[in-house]
Structure 1
């Protein structure tokens, strides 16, 4: 895509990619919970970075043919932040509230 409108669509796609990467991180967080020891954490964190890099690389090629631009990185970081401090935080609070309610009964 070319021009300013194309860059806006690429930025929106990068934000969406960041949301997906944030969701993937939450999945790895759930996998890591039962294993508090360091070796498992290192393995799962390494696997997350490999998967996140692959998702970002794939989306970079789909969005604009693989050209790395600063606004693409900023969009992906915004998407991850939005997911971690918005969507994920809200769901964690809801689950925590639900668990507290069920524990009282």
Structure 2
């Protein structure tokens, strides 16, 4: 089992969660669409060759984002990550997977 953690702008929170849930993440026993989320502030500075969804190259940007956490079974990892990347608005999606024991 893995814990998926990703960061997403507030404007795309629900659509990205829906895509990742549809790929099978967030299932715990008899429960579906399980996650934990908290609102915070992310910051980044796009390089000159970047094509940022928010902000401009070379300028520090701060944006309201959510940190979202959910679990997924091992065999779903590649499909869930693909769904995350396909539904997320950012050019570079910030996420990590952590192996967990059950």
TM-score relative to the length of structure 2: 0.30
Report the structure number with the largest CA radius of gyration: 1
Bigger strand fraction:
2
TM-score by structure 1 length?
A: 0.29
